[in-house]
Amino acid sequence: MKEDLLKLIELQKIDSKIYETSLQLKSIPKELETLKEKELNIMVTFNQLKEKIKSTELEKKKLELDIEAAKDKIGKMNTQLFQIKNNDEYRKMLRQIDETKRDIPKLEETLLVKMDDLDKLNEKIKESEKTLNQEKESIKTKQAELQKNKDTIEKQIKDFEAAKLDKRRGITPAIIAKYDQILNKRKDCAITPIKKDGTCGSCHIILLPRIIDDVICNRGIMYCDTCSRILYDETTLGLSVDE
């Protein structure tokens, strides 16, 4: 029984490494997805800025056309003035000319604002493009690092699995079956030491004196009543407290 426990402890060391590296491996796809989302968000912001420039250019062009149309209209109305013989119609035409003339400065003022906005947007997109390229390069580097880490971790797990097969040899079949059952449920560990204060080394619940005594006296494979992990006493197995 003592020999089985010692082998289980050694096996547990490898399974713990497999568990920890597997968690690292599982986190990589999420990190890669986060990087993709970051790149996508940067691209969306950049494209929105490009669309804003496009719409502002269209607004500027429309204002220029409106100003040109107003000036043409004034020219035509001035020409028509010479053809009008009715005083009321003549005064009406003059009012229309004055109104159109008053519209032009407003349009020109709005045009200046749009031109200023466009200058600022063009400057902003230059900075944004620079930032975009830097971020894309940074993301590309991080993606390569994550892929490299993934390959390294997968190799480590493969090596651990090979070492695990070697450590399982010679353990009583019924005991290794129970160990596997517990590990499959608990994930992190299946065998744990009894602490000096009489608690379980994993769930930290106080153990019954009877169970502690059975473990110390090596009366068989004993389990924590709370977490069901296999218990062992380091002193009984001749292990150091730090092991």
The answer on 180 and 84 residing in a single domain is no
Q: Which amino acid belongs to residue 237?
A: L
Query: Which region, left, alpha or beta, applies to residue 170 given φ > 0 means left and ψ of -120 to 50 means alpha?
Result: left
- Indicate if the pLDDT at residue 4 is higher than 60: yes
d(CA 208, CA 141): 55
**Burial annotation 143-180 (CB, 10 A radius, 16+ → b, else e):** eeebeeebeebeebbeebeebbeebeeebeeebbebbe
pLDDT recorded at residue 243? 43
Question: pLDDT (tens digit, 9 = 90+) per residue, 163-211?
Answer: 999 999 999 999 999 999 999 999 999 999 999 999 999 999 999 999 9
**The domain containing residue 125 runs over which residues?**
21-168
| 4 located within any domain | no
d(CA 60, CA 107): 10
Domain termination residue (choose one: 168, 189, 206): 168
The answer on 181 and 158 residing in a single domain is no
Q: Which amino acid belongs to residue 28?
A: I
pLDDT recorded at residue 241? 55
Question: pLDDT (tens digit, 9 = 90+) per residue, 22-67?
Answer: 999 999 999 999 998 988 998 998 999 999 999 999 999 999 999 9
The answer on 129 and 33 residing in a single domain is yes
Question: What is the number of domains present in the chain?
Answer: 2
d(CA 28, CA 70): 63
| 104 located within any domain | yes
The answer on 181 and 160 residing in a single domain is no
The answer on 73 and 130 residing in a single domain is yes
| 32 located within any domain | yes
The answer on 208 and 125 residing in a single domain is no
Domain termination residue (choose one: 168, 190, 208): 168
- Indicate if the pLDDT at residue 242 is higher than 60: no
Task: Please answer whether residues 116 and 63 qualify as being in contact, where contact means their C-beta atoms are separated by less than 8 angstroms.
Answer: no
Q: Is 206 helix (H, G, I), strand (E, B) or coil?
A: strand
Centroid of chain to Cα 71: 56
The answer on 131 and 36 residing in a single domain is yes
| 9 located within any domain | no
- Indicate if the pLDDT at residue 240 is higher than 80: no
Question: pLDDT (tens digit, 9 = 90+) per residue, 108-138?
Answer: 999 999 999 999 999 999 998 998 899 889 9
The answer on 155 and 35 residing in a single domain is yes
CATH number at residue 39: 1.10.287.1490
| 138 located within any domain | yes
Question: pLDDT (tens digit, 9 = 90+) per residue, 55-103?
Answer: 999 999 999 999 999 999 999 999 998 888 889 999 999 999 999 999 9
The answer on 143 and 25 residing in a single domain is yes
Angle between helix axes 2-81 and 87-168 (nearest 10 degrees) is: 170
